[in-house]
Amino acid sequence: MANHTTAAARSAAPSVPASAGRLPLAALLALATAVFVTSLTETLPAGVLPAMSADLGVGEAAMGQSVTVYALGTALTAVPLAARTSGWRRKRLLLTSVAGFAAANTVTAVSSSYALTMGARFLAGVAAGVAWALLAGYARRIAPPHLQGRAVAVAMTGIPLALSLGVPAGTFLGEAVGWRSAFTAMTVIAVGLLGWIALAVPDLPGEARGGRAPVARTLRVPGVLPVLAVTFTLVLAHTVLYTYVAAYLGHVGLAGSTGLVLLLFGGASLAGIWVTGRLIDRGLRILTLAGTILLAVAAAVFAVPSGGTALVLTAAVLWGFGWGGAPTLLQTAVADAGGDAADTAQTMLVSLWNAAMAAGGLAGGVLLDVLGAGALPWSVLVLLVPTVAVVAGARAHGFPARR
């Protein structure tokens, strides 16, 4: 398919001048930091799960539901909040979301109650729903039209940075001075980000009343449904393993290697998103297919009984490299497929993404309790086989060979 931009992107031309056709890096890096805060707040419990569960007096499976309830907060509120706030100025909405993260992480850091902690995690998920519904579109709108895909890739670097640096650093900090300090650090980052956004990110208007396409009509747009289906199964598979990676590593005798595994995973994710940023405008489908296959291969390696340290570390690298570009690829695919309904399609993707995370946290906890940690990689393989088939089959709509 010939290279094109979505009708929504064309109609939402940048409201600020793009100097000499260059990317507005200061603004995009602020958005990337917002993505970093969102992603790290979401995934930080994976690195400090044993300490959190011991301190709050619950089992690891119950503590793993802190990821589930965060995802539920996003999944349940992203679509209605996006509709209610569609007319808000974009900077005001982003600042509100980041302030929500600061509040939620502060409560998490000081809470001694499991119920209160879960409530704070739900609030963080609501803030994430607001952020994810606007970040990709924000990045596209402040970039020159021919660099919109790359602008989204720059903003999405916050995800692999959170995984490669944030979670290992949070794990180390949690082991050194306690898990609460990791969430306190997240509050400090969020407060600093508020000032950065205020100074560096241009303001943009919200949408005109009635500007969003209805959900039912958007689902009928060719290509939207396959992208959403792939999003659900891919994120579900990833979350089942990532949330309980510490438990899995303990199962294979590598309980002390959680930080190293997460560091390798995150570093490989950075490489994956770099490749995605370079090639996304020419190979959306092949990148999505390759990433999904790499995740399946990694799961197969994890599933090998007594594979040894080298194999586990190799699988972590494959897993990270395959996963790194997934957010950018799926956001771009659903925006391209959605056309005039791109904004609604992206908000639906955010909700479905987090519904999959909630389901993954819940399913992983059940698997851990009933079948043990060894069942986690096998469940990932079961989910990824149909995912590969859908990506491979969506040639004309959803995942075209060329954008």
pLDDT tens digits, one per residue of 223-277: 788 889 899 999 999 988 887 888 888 888 887 777 788 788 888 988 888 888 7
pLDDT at 167 over 90: no
Which whole-number Å values give the CA distances from 247 to 313, 341, 375, in the listed order? 16, 41, 11
Mean pLDDT of 310-339: 86
pTM of the model: 0.72
Counting Cα atoms < 13 Å in the Cβ hemisphere of 366 gives 7
pLDDT at position 339, please? Answer: 74
| Tokens at 221, concatenated | 């747009």
pLDDT at position 126, please? Answer: 93
Which whole-number Å values give the CA distances from 120 to 36, 147, 193, 282, 333, in the listed order? 18, 37, 20, 42, 32
Question: Residue 8's pLDDT band (boundaries 50, 70, 90)?
Answer: very low
| Tokens at 69, concatenated | 């309830």
pLDDT at 6 over 70: no
pLDDT at position 106, please? Answer: 97
Q: Which of 388, 78, 368, 68 has its CA nearest to residue 212? A: 78
Q: Most confidently modeled of 53-67, 97-111, 197-211, 292-306? A: 97-111
Amino acid at 96: T
Mean pLDDT of 91-117: 95
Residue 189 vs residue 225, higher pLDDT: 189
Rounded to 5 degrees, what are φ and ψ at 194? -55, -45
Residue carrying structure tokens 């679509």 = 79
Q: Considering the chain, what percentage of its residues have pLDDT values greater than 70?
A: 89
What whole-number distance in Å separates Cα of residue 290 and Cα of residue 19? 35
pLDDT tens per residue across span 271-300: 888 888 788 777 888 898 999 999 999 999
Q: What DSSP element (H or E) covers 292? A: helix 284-303
Contacts of 20 (CB under 8 A, 6+ apart): none
